[in-house]
Amino acid sequence: MNFKQQLIDRFDDKTAVIGIIGLGYVGLPLMLRYVEAGYKVIGVDTDKDKVKKLNHGICEIKHISSEKIASAIEQKLFEASSDYADCTKADALIICVPTPLNKYREPDLSFVLDTMDNIAPHMKQGQILALESTTYPGTTEEELLPRIEKTGLKVGVDTFLVYSPEREDPANPKYDTRTIPKVCGGDTESCQQVGKALYSVAIDNIVAVSSTKTAEMTKLLENIHRAVNIGLVNEMKVVADRMGIDIHEVISAASTKPFGFTPYYPGPGLGGHCIPIDPFYLTWKAREYGLHTRFIELAGEINAYMPCFVIEKITDALNVRGKALSECTVLVLGIAYKKNVDDMRESPSVIMMEKLEEKGAVIAYSDPHVPVFPKMREHHFELSSIPITPETLKEYDCVILATDHDAFDFEMISQHSKLLIDTRGKYHRPALNIVKA
């Protein structure tokens, strides 16, 4: 039987069932895109509470529409499950689980490998498996391929394997799942053909590369490029600050050059599930080849220092005003890692909050996207978001603009804060109560 053509035909005539493992920031938008294209999707997630809520049309990720999920369920095009046995119902299995770092800043593939071990007993002939989680070059070939073939299936013949990295950018109004080009690399040429058939029905532009390793390295390069350039501009910020120069004015002027310059913007540190983490996947793998990725690691050191730089600026500003940080109340504006989302992963705001608390400050926060401080693996605060009013702002010795959500009234914040620490370059006019950090 020609499993390859049979599977391609099922994608073409929309009879294929798509299985998505991991119903989070990556899996849910992908699910909605396949539903929009007319495919039935089975979603698998180990969080039973999340599964129950999704099956009732409730999504706790703010920028993902609960209404669209409810509509997908009503149309009988989506169902969520916590049972890996349901993987056998799908023609395509797409893994969208986290790949964090462990406490030694080394790759933690436990989510991917546990998922693969749970999927493998339920795989069958005529399926394609796609990994979307960011990882080091060689993961698909070295870890997933042997686990599949251990079941007796032959990759490239009766089952197919590809790596296609996620490229989600939450709250970006310019691009969505459909319009962001999709890189795809197959374990064999047949795998690549089936992978292209899988993704081309939902994504406008498929970028085929020669191997799974190439696709894995592509994802790392994209995020390392950003991490290194952000590290550069963060270092420039520190130098400019010492010289009494506004780095944001410098960036604005440099951006007028029509060639050879791309603006990157400094901040209080790196956040999110990609940029602070992905570079270390390559540095770890490079050591296997006797290589030391000094440039990447240096950028990581600079970016990791940024929360400390902000704390130093706060301490200095309070000292000038005759106040000790240990005796102050501090309000942090924005604790999500980027503007207009509720994603807290690797947020530099949380690092700053911990450091401020260690130094004796009393901490509060306001974030319209995060009403209650969430449960996190490494960080914990018993706090809820407080409303921003002229009265509440005046209660705090220091206000830190950490994440510049559009919902904030920046004019009101500047008018009523005793001391405002601007980590995002939102305030261009000098003011006695504003310190840039």
Question: Angle, nearest 10°, between helix axes 3-12 and 189-200?
Answer: 10
Other C-beta atoms closer than 10 Å to the C-beta of 277 total 23
Other C-beta atoms closer than 10 Å to the C-beta of 29 total 21
What is residue 384's DSSP assignment? B
Determine the Cα–Cα distance for residues 55 and 83; give it in Å rounded to an integer: 14
Distances (CA, A) of 201 to 64, 175, 176, 316: 21, 18, 15, 56
Stated as kind and residue range, the H or E segment containing 294 is helix 294-320
Other C-beta atoms closer than 10 Å to the C-beta of 78 total 28
Half-sphere exposure of 19 (CA within 13 A, CB side): 26
Nearest to 160, CA basis, from 148, 143, 146? 148
What is residue 412's DSSP assignment? H
Burial letters 208-246, b for 16+ CB under 10 A, else e: bbebbbebbbbbbebbbebbbebbebbbbbbebbeeeee
Distances (CA, A) of 124 to 17, 144, 257: 14, 15, 56
Which residue in 59, 96, 274, 398 is the catalytic one?
274
CA 118 to chain centre: 24
* 274 part of the active site: yes
Mode of pairing for the β-strands spanning 159-163 and 182-186: antiparallel
What is residue 82's DSSP assignment? S
Distances (CA, A) of 91 to 18, 157, 213, 227, 319: 6, 15, 24, 37, 64
Other C-beta atoms closer than 10 Å to the C-beta of 33 total 18
Determine the Cα–Cα distance for residues 345 and 273; give it in Å rounded to an integer: 6
CA 276 to chain centre: 9
Active site residues: 274
